[in-house]
Structure 1
């Protein structure tokens, strides 16, 4: 099969028109804001995304550092799902070492029913060391614990009775009472950053791949390598790797111009750089001035955050095309949402993305463009035909000697 509109001869059968689009909430919120209103606006943003035609909305789990103030993605999704009708929600991510696997399976199964099948279980080991330390977990053990939990959760969601004992949980004839809404079950996505560990774990359990660090230089460089690992390991474990279940994530904030984008994030951007300095214990030379911080984010990027598109829809299109070229194609592109602008500018950013970026890849207007091109190519004969019709109608009514209007 030949792709309809390949961006590169290296893309094979991948068609960019099949890409889904979504929003990924870490979530990052300035410490001087009202946390109640911040959470309410996140729910409103899910509603906006649903109305604008985005396909997915993801919410993360964090328990420390202050700026990421959603501890339960499941509670958030339960509220947002009641205010939306079509968008799919993902946990981005549930930190598996923090929970008994039976509770993870039970909660996501209930959420699957409450959303009528509009939920994806995104999982990871946990990002912030303080989260783990507060629970008495050695951060060195988190990836091992994630693998042990994922094995149990996957089997429970498949309807198996699970007997399993580790140094941190026991399942004795464990079973999930609720089974998924859809026969194909609940999709599970495993977070991957730079190392191949996420790809290996996802492939082992037939889960989807979730590349969280595509905006980071090291993460971008690792995209194709990690996909190759995922394909190889999936085959070794008896699964078919499919690009439609690969999600790539990078930050973007859009406006009518770069200058407008810079102005929109000026008041809040330094709250985020202050967070970076405090959690890392490092002072960054570009973190004292809003424009310098913005230029750094747009260019080389920030630690942990990576690089972002802070600019126009055309720049967003160019960045996504670069990701497609690098990877050979993926199923979904997610915009990491940073709370950096006021509500109106935030909505405008996603409106521009929905209005100009999504239609570019889906080729939504190809019929309209073709119609105008046809009209242009036949303008002379079409114009002559229209003029002849006007002349005929005028003369039929007024007689042969009547003056014929030009239009």
Structure 2
């Protein structure tokens, strides 16, 4: 019996260096999602950021609405909506509208906000972000399930609040909580019975915390009468794939250094360790990134499966290490040569090929017999005038004998 397919997607923050035209960079992000849809990717998650120059998308909802019109089947999530930045009713209502517009293809990813500079501009204490996420999440879950909510906190108020349109998706739009190293996201996911989005799954801290965070989520879910589903667990890690390891390394000369600079000097996510020596060697040796072939990508996914105990979707952490054409090639190679290994796409083909190979002599014998019968019938009716000598020879017939 076939089990569930491992899904594949991309977590598109995005990360665009300052040398890029931002308008064209956003256009390529939309083109990427369209390309992913054509290749059969399952999901794309779109970030929300308001400062620091690299992560340009301020409204994942606007991006998703645009991308939804250009795609057919790929599901589109906010990756993630920073809950302390939004009144819960307003965010829930926008997601609900997208749920209807996309006919159920939208997902809501939730987090406290990853850039302290965003919170600073809005006067939000960084120390309060996780508490505010927890407060807002509890009410957003209820709203997206069609419930009426009354609640007053020190930063928002809901008075008999409800969505005026019944949600398209039942019982709710899928909601996922961002999780890194701390147990915050896992605790929230378990408390509300939500999916989990492990953004830094291949970083040292994130990788080591995978199994413990899942255990925390399951324990918290049990306390609240929920059940965690591994198919809703997404793991995110950076990869660049090429035909050879040498080609992959050459491709990354385009933009890897700018990406590393952003994480070391600006972003608050501990994805890149400090160290000396070649950056590519460091990233590969640490297990943080794959810069190699489809075989290397498959090995990384197997490593994540073993560490986590099983998950539902692997996602590229999207980046611009390579130029546009080579980046698309990386996505294509993943779809062509890695998807099949984890989705059983070629199992039946292999069985069919082996069966045909193992029974080749039997099948060819029957085919020869059928051809021979037709040739013999023709000779009986018309003689050998139009029969090529090699055909007669293959049948063990001499032309003179046939004529007699």
TM-score by length of 2: 0.90
Residue 145 (structure 2) aligns with: 158
Q: Give the superposition deviation at 1:178.
A: 2.5
Q: Give the superposition deviation at 1:149.
A: 0.7
Residue 220 (structure 1) aligns with: 207
Distance 2:132 2:71 in 1: 34
Say whether the 8 Å CA contact 1:391–1:404 is kept in structure 2: no
Of 332, 355, 367, the residue aligned with 2:336 is 355
Per-residue CA shift, 1:25-52, capped at 9, x if unaligned? 1211121011011100100111111111
Distance 1:373 1:191, change over 3 A: same
Residue 373 (structure 1) aligns with: 354
Residue 8 (structure 1) aligns with: none
Distance 1:203 1:284 in 2: 33
Residue 280 (structure 2) aligns with: 294
Say whether the 8 Å CA contact 1:212–1:248 is kept in structure 2: yes
Distance 1:158 1:279, change over 3 A: same
Residue 217 (structure 2) aligns with: 230
Of 289, 297, 320, the residue aligned with 1:316 is 297
Ranked by relative contact order (alpha carbons within 8 Å, sequence separation 6 or more), the top structure is 1
SS in 1 for 2:14: strand
Say whether the 8 Å CA contact 2:194–2:228 is kept in structure 1: no
Residue 383 (structure 1) aligns with: 364
Residue 399 (structure 2) aligns with: none
Q: Give the superposition deviation at 1:148.
A: 0.6
Q: Give the superposition deviation at 1:276.
A: 2.8
Residue 243 (structure 1) aligns with: 230
Say whether the 8 Å CA contact 1:117–1:180 is kept in structure 2: no
| Superposition pairs of residues 6-405 of structure 1, within 5 angstroms | 15=3, 17-279=4-266, 284=274, 286=276, 292-300=278-286, 307-398=288-379, 403-405=389-391
Moved beyond 4 Å, runs of 4+: 280-287, 399-402
Aligned length: 385
SS in 2 for 1:376: helix
Per-residue CA shift, 1:69-121, capped at 9, x if unaligned? 11111111011011111111000000001111111111111111111111010
Q: Which runs of 5+ in 2 are unaligned?
A: 396-404
Q: Give the superposition deviation at 1:280.
A: 6.8
Distance 1:283 1:82, change over 3 A: closer
Distance 1:283 1:188 in 2: 31
Distance 2:313 2:218 in 1: 17
Say whether the 8 Å CA contact 2:174–2:195 is kept in structure 1: yes
SS in 1 for 2:168: coil
Structure with the greater alpha carbon radius of gyration: 2
Q: Give the superposition deviation at 1:127.
A: 0.6
SS in 2 for 1:92: strand
Q: Give the superposition deviation at 1:387.
A: 3.2
Distance 1:367 1:278 in 2: 50
Say whether the 8 Å CA contact 1:164–1:172 is kept in structure 2: yes
Say whether the 8 Å CA contact 2:99–2:169 is kept in structure 1: no
SS in 2 for 1:27: coil
